[in-house]
Amino acid sequence: MDGEKIKATLQPLVDEGKLESTVVEEIVQGNAKLFARAKTAEESEKLLKEENARLKPAPVQPVAPAPQASLDVSDPVDEILALQSKGLNPDEMRYVRSLSKSTKRTLDEVLSDPIISGGLEAARTKKKAEAATPSPTGSPGYKPGDKVNVPSFDEWQAQKKSNSAV
């Protein structure tokens, strides 16, 4: 709304004494400032859109990944050979095949999952560490959890006395 329309709309209130003419002038000036700001914002938006369109790179067509030899799930022999070629041991093969069936994903998808491949790697590392740990030497063949019959001190003394008497 321009200033003249605002004055014409508010003139009856000034005539009745309900509104001072200075207030009307302030309203007109405030409206003119707001209109100028809005016009500047619209021009800035237009310029930014043009600049953005100029700087935006052309859309890049996604490059299809090179076709890989997909594991044929229909033939278990081919499946096992493919898993062996990827360096999996029989336990890992069973695990990957069961995951593939339960999640209804291909073997390639299961093997490319970072969580699954990380888990397989962690299991391999743990197995290597267990294999590298030597068994305890010098022990009388007890295993952890075996019950060992240890006599009390009094029983030991009695046994010692009876052995020395013989």
Q: What is the number of structural domains in the chain?
A: 2
Condensed to tens digits (0 to 9), the pLDDT of residues 26-62 reads 888 898 899 899 999 999 999 988 888 887 776 666 6
Residue 158 belongs to a domain: no
The answer to whether residue 151 sits within a structural domain is no
Range(s) of the domain holding residue 29: 3-55
**Residue 70: inside a domain, yes or no?**
no
In terms of pLDDT, which residue wins out, 135 or 158?
Answer: 158
Contacts with 92 (C-beta within 8 Å, 6 or more apart), sequence order:
83, 120, 123
Map residue 64 onto helix, strand or coil. coil
Alpha helices (H) in the chain, listed in sequence order: 3-15, 21-55, 76-85, 90-103, 107-112, 114-132, 153-165
State yes or no: pLDDT of 157 exceeds 70: yes
Q: Tell me if 35 is assigned to some domain.
A: yes
